[in-house]
């Protein structure tokens, strides 16, 4: 096929699906801003949306890999609730320090996830069945840990992990972080161009490369400006980037590295593409599956810590229904439910779309029943779009 016959978006190397998700996110933001009388795009609301999205975003990054490997985890919300209540209980009732309580929560989460992963990997029990049972079991375990009582957390540093009054990194660090990200993006672009030239491969026009780098840089600085414009009450200092969002960004970067730069990431996608072929070529499918569930345990623990720090308490309802939002974020972000395809950045966009939709309807005073109906239908639409898109581009 000649270059002229190749669509422009393919020649630029831009993922059309992710571009459409960005357009949809922008359209939702502008639409809700107009319908809410100018409330949605205010610094206060965007700060809250960013914080609220972080928990779902953290878990959805690893849910992408779970689905890519042709598995599913319906128990993430219940396990997060169980771990969150346990961590809060150990701090409040048992008097443990918050680091010790968090490590204990991580240990329990690893036991839970490896147990479920072992049933899937070694015994061949479908992950849907295993985690469906976990959804009920660990929700009950959350009640049993604290006898159904809310467990407050009072440590000031721990509470900062959830955002809130002292939960931002401040304006100086926010601008500095934005500048570092911009420098990294430029250096990566120059490194790619040098590498392609060294191997005799053609480079895209410099102006096009510059545009593709400038767009995310502008977005990063715009986000930093909004976060630095928000102040809580009479607090003299602006909040800056919320710590939960910083944790979410760190998780997304680490998982992107695992996916693109490690053998583990290649194995996960190979398993999702064809599990039988992956086993035949020597990929340790069972071990990788256990590692995948262990990674899920780590991120569910981080999400639980952020949640109880934000609420200042561990409650039995923590994480209820979160599995819908996590799976929807992954699917909306382009993860194929059939496995073998997905992206970490897509999950970030999916989580933002889900939370923007929910927050926008809340600003418009849409009842909870209608919100649930709409969000459920959005998930169905996302799956239908995924099927039609893959047929259109020939990705089966």
| Chain centre distance of CA 92 | 29
Distance CA 348, CA 325 (A): 12
Number of independent structural domains in the chain: 2
Interval 191-196 mean pLDDT: 87
Query: Environment class of residue 170 by beta-carbon count within 10 Å: exposed (0-12), middle (13-18) or buried (19+)?
Result: middle
- Decide if 228 contacts 171 (C-beta within 8 A): yes
Residue 344 resides in a domain: yes
Same domain, 190 and 302: no
Residue 2 resides in a domain: no
The pLDDT-based confidence of 254 (bands split at 50, 70, 90) is very high
Same domain, 222 and 353: no
The pLDDT-based confidence of 65 (bands split at 50, 70, 90) is very high
Alpha-carbon torsion 23, 24, 29, 32, what sign? positive
DSSP string, 240-289: BSBHHHHHHHHHHHHHHHHHHHSHHHHHHHHHHH-HHHHHHTT--HHHHH
Same domain, 237 and 88: no
150, pLDDT greater than 90? no
Residue 42 resides in a domain: yes
Question: Could you give the C-alpha distances from 322 to 73, 218, 277, 331, 383, in angstroms and in order?
Answer: 11, 32, 34, 14, 18
DSSP state of 202: P
* Boundary of a domain, candidates 241, 265, 297: 241
Same domain, 274 and 347: yes
Which distant-in-sequence residues (6+ apart) come within 8 Å of 173 by Cβ?
240, 241
* Boundary of a domain, candidates 241, 256, 289: 241
The pLDDT tens digits of the residues spanning 8-40 come to 555 556 677 788 888 889 999 999 999 999 999
Residue 63 is predicted with a pLDDT of: 94
Residue 176 resides in a domain: yes
Question: Could you give the C-alpha distances from 324 to 152, 244, 249, 283, 354, in angstroms and in order?
Answer: 27, 21, 21, 31, 10
300, pLDDT greater than 80? yes
Residue 360 resides in a domain: yes
161, pLDDT greater than 60? yes
Residue 11 is predicted with a pLDDT of: 56
Same domain, 235 and 258: no
Which region, left, alpha or beta, applies to residue 147 given φ > 0 means left and ψ of -120 to 50 means alpha?
Answer: left
* Boundary of a domain, candidates 191, 213, 241: 241
Percentage of residues in the chain having pLDDT higher than 90: 54
Helix (H) or strand (E) holding 314: strand 313-314
Lowest mean pLDDT among 123-137, 177-191, 310-324: 310-324
Distance CA 278, CA 345 (A): 25
Alpha-carbon torsion 5, 8, 14, 19, what sign? negative
93, pLDDT greater than 50? yes
The pLDDT-based confidence of 1 (bands split at 50, 70, 90) is very low
Bridge partner residues of 240 (DSSP) = 170
Residue 2 is predicted with a pLDDT of: 45
* Residue 330: CATH number of its domain: 1.10.3470
324, pLDDT greater than 90? no
Interval 273-301 mean pLDDT: 91
Same domain, 284 and 381: yes
- Decide if 290 contacts 38 (C-beta within 8 A): no
Domain of 99, in residue numbers: 15-168+242-393
Alpha-carbon torsion 39, 43, 44, 45, what sign? positive
DSSP state of 138: H
Residue 279 is predicted with a pLDDT of: 85
């Amino acid at each position: 096929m000649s270059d002229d016959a190749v669509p422009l978006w393919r020649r630029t190397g831009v993922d059309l699906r992710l571009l459409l998700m960005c357009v949809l996110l922008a359209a939702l933001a502008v639409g809700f801003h107009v319908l809410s009388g100018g409330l949605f795009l205010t610094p206060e609301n965007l700060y809250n949306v960013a914080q609220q999205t972080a928990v779902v975003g953290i878990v959805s990054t690893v849910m992408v890999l779970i689905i890519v490997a042709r598995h599913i985890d319906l128990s993430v919300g219940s396990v997060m609730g169980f771990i969150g209540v346990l961590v809060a209980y150990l701090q409040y009732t048992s008097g443990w320090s918050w680091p010790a309580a968090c490590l204990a929560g991580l240990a329990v989460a690893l036991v839970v996830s490896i147990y479920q992963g072992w049933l899937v990997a070694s015994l061949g029990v479908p992950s849907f069945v295993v985690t469906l049972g976990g959804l009920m079991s660990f929700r009950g375990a959350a009640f049993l840990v604290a006898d159904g009582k809310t467990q407050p957390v009072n440590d000031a540093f721990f509470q900062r992990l959830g955002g809130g009054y002292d939960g931002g990194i401040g304006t100086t660090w926010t601008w500095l972080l934005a500048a570092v990200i911009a420098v990294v993006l430029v250096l990566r672009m120059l490194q790619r161009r040098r590498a392609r030239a060294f191997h005799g491969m053609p480079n895209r026009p410099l102006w096009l490369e510059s545009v593709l780098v400038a767009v995310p840089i502008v977005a990063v600085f715009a986000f930093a400006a909004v976060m630095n414009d928000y102040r809580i009450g009479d607090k003299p200092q602006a909040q800056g980037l919320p710590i939960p969002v910083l944790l979410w960004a760190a998780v997304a970067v680490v998982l992107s590295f695992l996916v693109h730069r490690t053998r583990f990431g290649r194995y996960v996608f190979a398993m999702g593409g064809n599990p039988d072929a992956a086993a035949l070529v020597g990929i340790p499918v069972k071990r990788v599956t256990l590692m995948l569930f262990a990674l899920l345990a780590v991120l569910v623990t981080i999400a639980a810590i952020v949640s109880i720090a934000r609420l200042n308490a561990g409650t039995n309802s923590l994480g209820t229904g979160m599995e819908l939002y996590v799976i929807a974020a992954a699917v909306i972000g382009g993860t194929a439910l059939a496995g073998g395809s997905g992206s970490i950045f897509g999950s970030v966009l999916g989580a933002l779309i889900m939370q923007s939709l929910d927050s926008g309807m809340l600003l418009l005073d849409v009842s909870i029943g209608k919100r649930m109906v709409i969000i459920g239908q959005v998930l169905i639409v996302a799956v239908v779009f995924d099927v039609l898109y893959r047929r259109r581009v020939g990705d089966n």
